[in-house]
Structure 1
Amino acid sequence: MAADEGGIRDLSEVTRLASDLRLAVGRVTRRLRQAHAVGDMSLSGVSVLARLAADGPDSPTALAEMERVRPQAMASTLAQLEQRGLVRRSPDAADGRRSIVAVTEEGRAVLAERRSESVRRLAAVLGEFSAAERAALASALPLLDRLAARL
C-alpha cells in the first residue's frame, strides 16, 4: 500500500490507528455515560429518543433497522421508554396492524437535559484546551461523522 496524505504507509499502521481511535472514543463515551445516574436510560434508549426527536415518528421495525439491532431488542427498549412516558405508540393510519412510535414532550425534556449535562461536561474540559487543540478537534469532526456513517 502506498503512502497517503496522512502518512499511513501500510495495513499495520491503519490497524493501529483503528485500535487507538476505538479506545479513545470508547473512553470518552464511558466517561460521559458515568455522569448519569444509576438506573438512567440506556444508550440505546437515548439513541432511539434522539432519532425520534430528530426524524419524527416511525415504526418499531424501521427503528430497529436504523439502530442496527434485532426487533426483539428494539421492542425491549421501546417498552422501557414507553413505561417511563418518554414515547407513545399509536396505530399506523396506513396499516392498523402496525404501530408508530413518537417521542413525548417528557421524552424531549429528558433528552434535552441529558444533552445539556453532557455538553456542559465536555465544554468545561474543552475550556482547558488551547485554541489550537480545540481547532484540531473541530477539524476532525467531519471525518468522525463520515467514519460513523460508513460503519
Structure 2
Amino acid sequence: MATPTPDIAMATASELRVLLGKLKRRLREESGSHGLSWPQVSVLGHLERDGSKTVTELAELEGVRQQSMGATVASLETAGLLKGTPHPTDGRRTILSLTPKARAWVKASRAAREDWLFHTIQTRLSPTEQKKLAGAVELLKRLVEP
C-alpha cells in the first residue's frame, strides 16, 4: 500500500476543516435555536453533556471572562432554562444545572439536527455513497481518539 504524500494530507486537512465548519454552521441553523444565542446554546450543551457546573467552570470551558458567562447564565435563568443551587462547601458559589424545560429543549434541538442530517443523507446520497460515508465516519472517529 502506497503512503500518501504530505501534500495529499495537507490538502485533505484543509478541505476537511472548511467542510466541517460548514456542516457545523448548517447543523446550528437546523437546531431551531428559538431565539437563543450561540453562547447560550453552548452552555446548555455543556451542562447536558457534562452535568452541573459553576459559572467559573463554564467560563473556563468557553474561554470567556466570568462576567460574560455570568450574563449568559443570568439570561438562561430568566428564561427558566437553568436553576442554581448553593455549592455544598462554598456558600459563595452556585452550582448550575438544567431545568426540565432546558432538557426538553436540548432533546428537541438534537432531534432536529439529526432529522435534517438523516433526511439529507437519505435524499442526496445513493446507498453505495451512504456506505462510503459510514466508513468515513469511522475514519473521522480515529482522528479524535486519544
Does the pair score TM above 0.5? Answer: yes
1:100 partner SS: strand
% same residue: 36
Q: TM-score, normalised by structure 1?
A: 0.77
Match of 1:120 in 2: 115
* One-letter code aligned to 1:135: K
Following TM superposition, the consecutive aligned residue runs of length 4 or more in structure 1 with deviations greater than 6 angstroms are: none
Distance 2:18 2:55 in 1: 31
Please say if 1:43 is aligned against 2:38: yes
- Unaligned runs of 5+ residues in structure 2 are none
Q: Which position in structure 1 is the counterpart of 2:134?
A: 138
Point out the more displaced range, 110-119 or 36-45: 36-45
Q: Number of residue pairs matched? A: 145
**Which residue in 2 is equivalent to 1:14?**
9
Aligned ranges for residues 98-117 of structure 1 at < 5 Å? 98-117=93-112
CA 1:131 to 1:44, structure 2 compared with 1: closer, same or farther past 3 Å? farther
Corresponding residue of 2:81:
86
Q: Specify which structure has the bigger relative contact order, considering alpha-carbon pairs within 8 angstroms and separated by 6 or more residues.
A: 2
Structure-2 change in CA distance of 1:44 and 1:133 (3 Å): farther
Letter in 1 for 2:133: L
Across the aligned residues of Structure 1 and Structure 2, the Cα RMSD in angstroms comes to: 2.7
Q: Which runs of 5+ in 1 are unaligned?
A: none
Cα 1:133/1:36, change in 2 over 3 Å: same
Task: Give 1:99's aligned amino acid.
Answer: T
Deviation at 1:69, TM superposition (A): 3.5
1:13-46 per-residue CA deviation (whole Å, 9 max, x = no partner) reads: 4332222112111211222233355762233322
